[in-house]
């Protein structure tokens, strides 16, 4: 079943630019289409990270739902409404899903238990056509997504996802932010009587700005987990796994952002740290975020280029 939750929404007081973070559940078969939207920052549940037993439990409790369409020329089929055809195709689909589950159980079982002992990164692929995928997605460019995908020519499942995201936004007022105040998904924010933005974790523990960014990154990294632990304690426990190795796991720090401050931009040396480029409309960007500095762009060793040797 497609499910959409708005995790956090913010707006830059200087420019009016909005940034949105969603927690999405949708059929894995359309994930490649979502991935074509390169302006999105994403973390997604991974076949390589989820044990086969857990993957099967998740699949059986919430299998992906297909919108069946008729065979015809072109990329788009008309939605099938004939109850007889729908009943038959669903029965065939469920048969193949059961076969895939049995295959995965046998292949993934330890050799000493009568199986083949194949790793989940291989076995799990047989389950993917029937699975939903859980994704944390952050973007400043949601309008373009909605324009492209809330369309009758889009595949039915992705159009349904786009419409669900539009509906989820209804009635939500983004938190206004000044430079130095942060969009931090999964962290609670409240502005006190003095106008100071305060941060806290799921245990109501007050957080510094740096702790808030860490808790947010930790929570985004846990998208493969069935239950997300959004506490500071958990964030500190996985901090080293994310950032202390030779290669930084940088994707979870793409979701945190702060408005780009006003500055003189005649010379690049005057640009604030984290600003990566400017477009032809004199709009400043940080990675794939417009008018917001992305946390990832402030992390050392977050990317390697030819100039690094």
Going by C-alpha positions, the residue among 260, 226, 236, 194 that lies closest to residue 16 is: 260
In this prediction, residue 295 has a pLDDT band, given cuts at 50, 70 and 90, of very high
Bridge partners of residue 44, in order along the sequence: 135
Domain with CATH 3.30.1360.170 in the chain: 3-169
Task: Report the SS3 class of residue 148.
Answer: helix
Residue with tokens 């195709």: 89
DSSP symbols for 175-222: EEE-TT--B-TTSEEEE-TTS-EEEE-TT--EE-HHHHHHHHHHHHHG
Cα–Cα distance, 200 to 215 (Å, whole number): 9
What's the average model confidence in pLDDT over 26-37?
95
Q: What is the mean pLDDT of residues 101-118?
A: 94
Q: Which residue has the higher pLDDT, 270 or 90?
A: 90
Quote the pLDDT of residue 301: 66
pTM of whole model > 0.85? yes
Spatial CB neighbours of 7, under 8 Å, sequence gap ≥ 6 = 21, 22, 23, 136, 185, 186
pLDDT at 268 over 90: no
Q: Which of 11, 20, 7, 6 is nearest to 177 (CA)?
A: 11
Topology annotation, domain 3-169: Gyrase A; domain 2 (3.30.1360)
pLDDT at res. 64: 96
| Lowest mean pLDDT segment, chosen from 39-43, 186-190, 192-196, 264-268 | 264-268
Look at the alpha carbons of 240, 298, 13, 261 in this order and tell me if their dihedral is positive or negative: positive
Q: Which pLDDT does position 308 carry in this prediction?
A: 58
Q: What is the pLDDT of residue 206?
A: 94
Please tell me the distance from the alpha carbon of residue 33 to that of residue 174, in angstroms, as a whole number: 27
Instruction: Give the angle 82-88-93 at the CA atoms, nearest 5°.
Output: 120
The model's pLDDT over 180-219, given as tens digits with 9 standing for 90+, comes to: 999 999 999 999 999 999 999 988 889 999 999 999 999 9
So what's the pLDDT on residue 43?
A: 94
- Residue 36: Cβ within 10 Å count: 8
Name the pLDDT band for 307 (thresholds 50, 70, 90): low
The CA distance from 135 to 146, in Å, is 17
Q: What is the mean pLDDT of residues 67-94?
A: 92
Q: Are strands 289-290 and 197-200 parallel, antiparallel or unpaired?
A: unpaired
CA distance 157 to 265: 43
State pLDDT tens for residues 128-159: 999 999 999 999 999 999 999 999 889 999 99
Write the pLDDT tens digit of every residue in 220-234. Answer: 998 866 567 778 888
Question: Nearest to residue 21, comparing CAs of 191, 185, 257?
Answer: 185
Amino acid 222: pLDDT: 87
**Which of 207, 304, 305 is closest to 256 using CA atoms?**
207
């Amino acid at each position: 079943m497609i499910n959409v939750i708005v995790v956090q929404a913010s707006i830059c007081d200087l420019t009016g630019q909005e940034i949105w973070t969603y927690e999405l559940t949708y059929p894995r078969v359309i994930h490649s289409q979502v991935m074509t939207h390169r302006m999105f920052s994403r973390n997604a549940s991974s076949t390589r990270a989820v044990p086969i037993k857990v993957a099967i439990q998740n699949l059986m409790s919430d299998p992906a739902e297909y919108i069946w369409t008729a065979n015809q020329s072109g990329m788009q089929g008309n939605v099938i409404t004939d109850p007889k055809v729908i009943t038959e195709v669903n029965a065939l689909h469920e048969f193949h899903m059961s076969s895939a589950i049995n295959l995965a159980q046998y292949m993934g079982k330890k050799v000493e238990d009568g199986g083949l002992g194949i790793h989940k990164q291989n076995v799990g692929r047989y389950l993917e056509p029937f699975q939903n995928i859980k994704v944390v997605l952050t973007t400043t460019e949601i309008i373009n997504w909605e324009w492209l995908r809330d369309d009758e020519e889009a595949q039915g499942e992705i159009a349904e996802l786009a419409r669900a995201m539009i509906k989820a936004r209804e009635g939500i007022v983004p938190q206004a932010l000044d430079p130095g105040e942060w969009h931090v998904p999964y962290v609670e924010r409240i502005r006190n009587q003095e106008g100071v933005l305060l941060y806290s974790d799921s245990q109501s523990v007050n957080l510094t700005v740096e702790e808030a960014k860490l808790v947010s990154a930790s929570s985004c990294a846990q998208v493969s987990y069935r239950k997300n632990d959004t506490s500071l304690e958990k964030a500190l426990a996985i901090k080293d796994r994310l950032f202390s190795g030779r290669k930084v796991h940088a994707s979870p720090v793409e979701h945190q952002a702060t408005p780009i401050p006003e500055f003189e931009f005649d010379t690049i040396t005057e640009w604030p740290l984290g600003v990566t480029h400017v477009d032809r409309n004199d709009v400043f960007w940080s990675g794939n975020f417009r008018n917001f500095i992305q946390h990832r762009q402030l992390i050392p060793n977050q990317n390697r280029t030819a100039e690094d040797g």
